[in-house]
Amino acid sequence: MIRSYHWIVEDGNYYSTHDNLFCFGRYRCIPLCRLEACLKELLRTSHPLILIVHGSHRETTLLQKLNINLHPLFVIDTTTAARYPLQDFHSYTPKKLLEEFSIPFTDDCLHVAGNDAQFTLRALLMIDVSDVRRELDEAPVWVPVLEAVARAPLPPMPLKRGQKAAMKRREKRLAAIEQGEMLPLKRAMVLRSTRSRDIISPLEFSSL
């Protein structure tokens, strides 16, 4: 139900030399000059637009510096939206918020733009779930649905470069072991075939 995107601007070569830690699809490399057009095209059918962020200052400042105005109807900041449902008026870090709501994640997944976007939306769903359960005696039927989406298991993580290299080394070792086991067997078959030609069967002897 949540579709995530991870865009790399300008330098695809830089990113390709590092681990692909976006775990909700494939990243896409676009030039910086195309960022606004790509964002607006992606959001073309999503109006009115509500912008969900965790700590709004950095995101909104960046958009302003890039002269990108998405004209959101309003902005929801999960750092403040979570305070009432959690009855805690401290600002939670993304990791702490995910832990508080039992949303599955790994440390490797955090601080990757596309992943953080997904986790922020999952956190917002759990804020809604917690708020409704706090205020109502009987939760509506959609509450367990939102909770299931927010706490859905993560897809398999892409292998890191080190893991890929380790797998290749293991495959080579297994192939070498298998080849080493096959050689004695082949030698034994050749030896057995040679010996069988040296033996004259009784039928062959009687015909001489």
Place of tokens 């297994």: 174
- What residues contact 195, with CB distance under 8 A and at least 6 apart? none
Q: Identify the residue with better confidence: 115 or 171.
A: 115
34-90 tens-digit pLDDT: 888 888 888 888 888 888 999 877 777 888 888 888 888 988 999 999 999 888 888
Query: How confident is the model at residue 98, as a pLDDT?
Result: 96
| Helix intervals (H) in the chain | 12-16, 35-42, 56-65, 78-81, 83-86, 94-100, 113-135, 142-150, 161-198, 202-206
Judged by DSSP in three states, 7 sits in: strand
Among residues 135, 112, 84, which one has the least CA distance to residue 143? 135
* Domain range annotation of the chain: 6-161
pLDDT tens for 108-150 read 889 888 899 999 999 999 999 999 999 998 989 999 999 999 9
